[in-house]
Amino acid sequence: MLNTILYLVLVGIAEGMFLWLVAAGLSLTFGVLRVLNFAHGSLFMLGAYVAFSLVKISGGNFWIALAIAPLVLAIVGMGMEVFFFRRIYDLDMSFQLLLTFSFVLMLEDIVKFVWGPLYQTSPIPPALTGTASILGVSFPHYYFFILVVGSAVGLGLWLFIERTKWGKVVQATASDREMSSAVGVKVPQLYTGVFMLGAWLAGLGGILSVPIRSLSPGLGEYVIIEAFVVTVIGGLGSLKGAFIGALLIGIFHTFGVMYLPVFELAIAYITMAIVLIIRPWGIFGVREA
């Protein structure tokens, strides 16, 4: 019994790491740019498909795809921010939602055109196959790899935001864009950099999902719904909240699949509803006056 619980917790944390990578970019762009980017899940999907192609082109080299695919998505994100999002920051949020939703439709059609509508799969890289024993529980090497990467990204983001000069500039700009611009901060370039970082995170989540998740053109819509639930639970704009929320949803989901399969799809929404009733601005969100 204890071994089963430990296994479910570990798998849930690993699943939560996928959500964390997507939700981190979503929270980052909202916290700084104040844009709720519903196309972020489509960037995750595009990153997965780009990685899938790179693995095939490189003869099965997962590591090349891991290095290149997130960079490709960062470039895509730069193009989206410079040519489209930069023009809507001062407009009503309804315009932002229309633009981001249009990207959802466009990216889904691009994926169908380039890769086709059928499901695609890719094997786990040979170096990460097999299992390891953790407290007597067999745990797949690849899931352990995901735990390490997700934790490293979380630590890296925290150090960047809290311990570097650039991170302080990002925080200051998120709080008061006009004042930051007045003291010499190049706000447009900073926004582009933040958006690229968010797209990079989405691409990283996409590549990590390739070996264990079937790819389909509708993947982005499924992922963004879960990521949005995570960010609402943790608090919009809070990276710490996104991390905790992702772990909670990942763990609750695995336990739901095992013990409450009938309610498995509803568990995330039930959790979100409970959090919003108790704390409407999220676990680590800031209550606005």
Contact 161, 239 (CB under 8 A): yes
Per-residue pLDDT, 103: 92
Using a pLDDT cut of 90, give the percent of the chain over it.
24
Residue 1's pLDDT band (boundaries 50, 70, 90)? low
The string of DSSP letters for 213-265 reads S-B-TTHHHHHHHHHHHHHHHH-TT-HHHHHHHHHHHHHHHHHHHHH-GGGTT
Length of the chain measured in residues? 289
The residues facing 140 across adjacent strands are 131
**Mean pLDDT confidence for 55-62:** 89
Per-residue pLDDT, 196: 94
**Is residue 285 a part of any domain in this protein?**
no
pLDDT in tens, 213-244: 888 888 888 888 888 888 888 887 788 888 88
The set of residues, in sequence order, having a beta carbon less than 8 Å from that of 151 and lying 6+ positions away, is 17
Residue 258: closest CA among 248, 271, 267: 267
Contact 46, 75 (CB under 8 A): no
**Is residue 150 a part of any domain in this protein?**
yes
**Is residue 225 a part of any domain in this protein?**
yes
Q: Which amino acid is located at 138 in the chain?
A: S
**Is residue 286 a part of any domain in this protein?**
no
φ/ψ of residue 125, rounded to 5:
-55, 140
Q: What is the number of structural domains in the chain?
A: 1
pLDDT in tens, 250-286: 888 888 888 877 777 788 888 888 998 988 888 887 7
Per-residue pLDDT, 93: 79
Q: Is the pLDDT of residue 289 over 60?
A: no
| Total-model pTM | 0.91
Show the 3-state SS of 10-32: HHHHHHHHHHHHHHHHHHHHHHH
Exposure letters 67-81 (e unless 16+ CB within 10 A, then b): ebbbebbbebbeebb
Q: Is the pLDDT of residue 80 over 90?
A: yes
Q: Is the pLDDT of residue 71 over 90?
A: yes
Q: Which domain holds residue 126?
A: 2-278
Name the token pair of 35.
Answer: 């844009």
**Is residue 157 a part of any domain in this protein?**
yes
**Mean pLDDT confidence for 92-109:** 88
Domain with 57 in it: what CATH number? 1.10.3470
Exposure letters 3-33 (e unless 16+ CB within 10 A, then b): eeeebbbbbbbbbbbbbbbbbbbbbbbbbbb
Per-residue pLDDT, 253: 86
**Is residue 289 a part of any domain in this protein?**
no
**Is residue 283 a part of any domain in this protein?**
no
**Is residue 284 a part of any domain in this protein?**
no
pLDDT in tens, 141-184: 898 899 899 889 989 988 988 888 888 888 888 878 888 888 88
pLDDT in tens, 36-56: 788 888 999 999 999 999 999
Name the token pair of 48.
Answer: 């997965």
pLDDT in tens, 113-139: 999 988 888 888 888 888 887 777 788
